[in-house]
Structure 1
């Protein structure tokens, strides 16, 4: 095969020397010299390699129009500074004057080798493209400058019909992606060359200008220095997440952010509270009972709008609609006097306002509790101030430490003493509540629940002593007693069983070693489920994720408890390798009567199914709730409809009860 090499240079002597040199060194090579660019003939565009003296660079644009796209170009340069002139040209090389024939010969040999490989590479690309074209995802490939391949799905997505149209529509590669929060847009050569980045989220406007979200995956092809970009459509998951966000974080009636949203912002540290005011409508139940719920709902909305009107000009103030007839105004600015005056103004405005609904004119009053406490939780202390103001018939009260110190101290001492006695006399026991498989109606699992047995035999719920155990440094001991007694109870029983642990347990240095020792002793790792409550105590999610991975490696399973409560975090959930979601009791107990609870429960179940997670409905207290959660697709039910927590697992009695019913 013969190769054509064109040389644009006015050094005829050097060219003649090159021709003599090539007779022995370069076979099957035809050299053609053009000392004047006006003499370029019609065969010039067929040349395989162009060698051009830098002095002709000012004519390069004219020369380039004649050349085919993939030609290789070698510039004859005189100085290193000449490289700046040619830096933006693709597929170029350079060699210094005076010409070194051996160097040029080596370059020609290398380029001929590349030319000979091109047909094979082209066949491979055609084969690869035919495979890619039949993949159902939108796919394109790029060299960092332009799109060099697109399958039919990407053409359809962008409403384009050719590569020329694509590259005209998107002048730069990064223009393919629409700017959207949390979405990547900076696709460029630097990003493409980073081997650590292989997957990210992007937004693209489709042919109807709708936002479509994709998980972007890139694959680097070494043979031609290009990247294949694969787009996996995740629009449904994003839409699902946004819908769930609205249900979880917005009050269904007033459309203001709710308590759950405030808790989420506090947990994520997007809000730093300097002041909190809780406001409550006095005797609102009487308004509901006398005028009806439609009137009551109208007043709740009007009050929210009135409060918001008073604070909306202040950027540091924000309104949250709490459950029932409660409202919360927070401030991120430390200005106590101004905040108190503004809250007094809101109370006065509500009092003076006449709320009208159809033919009714209704007067209402509100009570407020305000907290600036830096020692205690401002939401809790504001609530203490609110309740105290109501008891003392005051319009408002600002929290001060003495409001609850004595009562708290007295209560702590009482239960600390009881816990100590229970440890001494081995009166910490584990009770068991069955989890029923919603398809088979059989008990598949049990949850292990701690109980304190008083000297008179009375069974005490952890509600009274669990928090005290943490404050009195007895929680670690309590958890380990529950774990060992649970493991021992189920050692010879054919059921899965779950035990509750907290972040305090997980971050304890020797807790994982304790679990390993229990698993080694009782050999039941494949039946243990650790229930973790995701709450405000979690400071390091990496620690939590690492713990989950460790216990999963031992053969255990993981459940997230109270999912759907104020602290549930969907971004974190996607990073955790869990098996079960236990839907929060506050949702399940209202699922038959409250539309929002029903919608959130339904969305959580669908969300879990998309992630191949099993769902457990807690607080199934009656047949109506059971039928609803079962119809929604929950996998398991737990609650007093089936059985209260019992001292000894007794499946036969439960099955008799179900058969009888």
Structure 2
């Protein structure tokens, strides 16, 4: 069991009381046994050595002087005769006491230096100099309220920082963030890191909004290392927890870790674990999902992608779950949990099989859309899934280029080298490839030259502010222009207004998707939508003639 500072302080008080008691007890023993002419004065070495070793040289010397005075002029050589000591005798004894006080104090210096080095290696990361998880067990939490705020700070792209610069560069960033957090959070707190992309905190402030605002301001500050400004993204997980009578270890942060990860997947800044039922509900969802796939509780909706320069329609397949008890569940309620497990492959195989079947059904109705589906990191980097998907498409009899895999920019950049190989394998079969959420992650045009892809899908975040902020319009225009030069077509998602539509059209966007054209529709509704659109187009052609 580690000793925290408060326990060490209390033990020193106990040792101090023992030392004082010993000094006066030994003085009394010497007096009652006949004075300093007998052996008992040597007992005084014990409290002097203890005092010097525990409290240091200063207190060792002070104790030695007090002991020397008590056994010096105040103590007879022989108490029965009243004979006094010679001056030389008690001065010499005092000098011996002083030597012992100094030596034991020096031993204290060496011991404390070694102890500090050991403690640093036990409780601090050697390179970042930030407390590690062991430090949690050394803290005196008596100054905290019974209920505190448990926090996880997740740095999303820390591995990219390590790969781009170095591990030491990353450690310096952790140290700068830690120092900033320590200095600017005024509440009682404990901060540790796993030396990866994560900080764990215990804060004596249950106002989550207030703490979140402060943490965002701290992490959004400029961090510059070797004259290089560092960009990173982050998310938070929070939980209010009663810590009375429990041991504070990293297990306490399991739920806030999960919340921070879920916030990343759901594109939120933070999530709160409101109660202990959160994880239970998530596990329940996972346990029910495989059954849902078999029992036809899941189904697809389709959202059109409108071509501006061609006479064609593309669709994006979006999964829904009609839960027997919870009702209709949208992807955000179950996809993040599923994608953390092997169920991600079962999910995507089910979606791919449904897409293949829908393509065949649409063909019987003279409707020939290209249909896209989302592919997760677990799918992309799983050879078994990729091989199974290729076999399914080949055996289906449909033209492979009728299927498009949407893969997020972050997924590809997590392992660029492997991504290149997998994308080439898919392209060799004829499957179309789209980079989804472009601009949201690494936002580097240069890596696109390394990938064999068909479409760039600009993230909705840029489209939302397209009209209000000229900067976003310039970014979108630049992305469209450079993509075309590289031979890629551009899809803009999240188009909801006529103003956005007109501007994107003028910028040269190839495809648009969003509620301005249509919300996600069931199969029967998408056919009705298509018929109305086809009739409108035929009418326009007739009017022109």
TM-score by length of 2: 0.52
Query: Could you tell me how far 1:465 is from its partner in structure 2?
Result: 0.7
Query: Could you tell me how far 1:389 is from its partner in structure 2?
Result: 4.0
Measure the CA separation in 2 of the matches of 1:433 and 1:605.
22
Structure number having the greater strand percentage? 1
Measure the CA separation in 2 of the matches of 1:592 and 1:602.
13
Gaps of 5+ in 1: 1-258, 276-314, 317-330, 348-366
On the 8 A contact 1:497/1:528 being kept in 2, the answer is yes
Query: Could you tell me how far 1:457 is from its partner in structure 2?
Result: 8.9
**SS at structure 1 position matched to 2:292:** helix
Measure the CA separation in 1 of the matches of 2:533 and 2:507.
24
Structure number having the greater helix percentage? 2
**SS at structure 2 position matched to 1:490:** helix
* 1:482 alignment counterpart: 351
Query: Could you tell me how far 1:579 is from its partner in structure 2?
Result: 0.9
Is 2:476 the counterpart of 1:601? yes
* 1:593-624 Cα shifts (integer Å, max 9, x gaps): 12222121111111111112100000011111
Q: Which residue among 339, 347, 355 is the counterpart of 1:470?
A: 339
Q: Which residue among 289, 301, 309 is the counterpart of 1:431?
A: 301
* 1:184 alignment counterpart: none
Structural mapping, 1:507-656, within 5 Å: 507-519=381-393, 520-535=395-410, 538-648=413-523, 649-650=526-527, 651-655=530-534
Structural mapping, 1:207-222, within 5 Å: none
Structural mapping, 1:386-397, within 5 Å: 389-391=207-209
**SS at structure 2 position matched to 1:569:** coil
* 1:310 alignment counterpart: none
Is 2:194 the counterpart of 1:342? no
* 2:174 alignment counterpart: 332
Is 2:194 the counterpart of 1:374? yes
Residue 274 to residue 378, structure 1, CA distance change in 2 (3 Å)? farther
* 1:504 alignment counterpart: 378
* 1:170 alignment counterpart: none
Greater relative contact order (Cα < 8 A, sep 6+): 2
TM-score by length of 1: 0.43
* 1:11-46 Cα shifts (integer Å, max 9, x gaps): xxxxxxxxxxxxxxxxxxxxxxxxxxxxxxxxxxxx
Measure the CA separation in 2 of the matches of 1:613 and 1:411.
42
Query: Could you tell me how far 1:530 is from its partner in structure 2?
Result: 1.3
**Superposition RMSD in Å:** 4.0
On the 8 A contact 2:376/2:411 being kept in 1, the answer is no
On the 8 A contact 2:339/2:376 being kept in 1, the answer is no
Measure the CA separation in 2 of the matches of 1:394 and 1:497.
40
Query: Could you tell me how far 1:443 is from its partner in structure 2?
Result: 5.0
**SS at structure 1 position matched to 2:435:** strand
Q: Which residue among 148, 165, 168 is the counterpart of 1:270?
A: 165
Residue 396 to residue 655, structure 1, CA distance change in 2 (3 Å)? same
Measure the CA separation in 2 of the matches of 1:627 and 1:546.
38
* 1:528-580 Cα shifts (integer Å, max 9, x gaps): 11111121575432221111111211122111101111234323211001110
Residue 266 to residue 401, structure 1, CA distance change in 2 (3 Å)? farther
Question: Which stretch of structure 1 is more off in the superposition, 510-519 or 555-564?
Answer: 510-519
On the 8 A contact 1:532/1:560 being kept in 2, the answer is yes
